[in-house]
Amino acid sequence: MNRASKGNTYSTICGKLCAIRWYHRSAAGYDPGVYASHAVLLRGIDQATAPDCANASGHLWRIGSHASAQSAFMGGLLLGYFFLLRRSEYLFIGNKVHSYILRLSAIQFVDADCRLTTPHKATMVGITLNGAKNNQYGREEVRYHHLSGDKLLCPVIAARWIRRGASAFKTADDAPALSTRYGGITADEVAATIRRAAAKLDLNPRGSRRTQ
């Protein structure tokens, strides 16, 4: 039930269950099991972790011009991937944002003792989400991810890139995390960039399902 006193749709619930199963498999080492229809959705997540993913990220990084915008773009893309965010939870939709979008102040860096620290001393990153979209009940939710050990595909590094871009653009703490000098990183921009990167890797971007 969300804040409008309406239950989530079947597709939304299935997506959340798939995210839970994927997290248990990758972080806890066991599969809690789901129905066959959920397993179909899970395969879409598995495809994102294929070996081509690292190569694709390199192509994504090279697309663009301004270094600060690249930092914000790549940081946002990776943070959205690791935290399983919907596009409306962290990206601009055209020139508008939803009230529950991820704010810069909602990204926190934590050390091994679970204390707030600087980006480069962090071993974990946490994000605070607000609104009906982030959980079934519309309450505030905090999520955490540790360093992955990879030099590129890492949630902590992604958050550092976002902070780097925000510093260059002088983004206010209460502003959307992916704000830029002339607005922010949009969902259409992300989709177009992924398609161009897929074309460079000789993949079929048309065959991919649209992300949430």
Q: Give, for all 212 residues of the chain, the pLDDT tens digit.
A: 455 555 555 455 555 666 676 667 777 777 766 555 555 544 554 544 445 555 555 555 544 446 778 888 989 999 998 998 989 999 999 999 999 999 999 999 999 888 999 999 999 999 998 765 555 555 677 889 999 888 888 999 999 999 999 999 999 999 999 999 889 999 998 888 888 877 777 776 555 444 44
Q: Which contiguous run of DSSP H or E holds residue 127?
A: strand 124-129
**Measured between alpha carbons, how far is 193 from 78 in angstroms, rounded to an integer?**
14
What DSSP string runs through 63-80?
S-S-HHHHHHHHHHHHHH
State how far the Cα of 170 lies from the Cα of 104, in Å rounded to an integer.
11
Instruction: Name the CATH architecture for the domain at 51-207.
Output: Orthogonal Bundle (1.10)
The residues spanned by each domain of the chain are 1-49, 51-207
Edge-to-edge strand ranges of the sheet holding 107-110: 107-110, 124-129, 141-146
**Maximum distance among all Cα pairs of the chain, rounded to whole angstroms:** 47
Query: Is 124:145 a contact under the CB 8 Å cutoff?
Result: yes
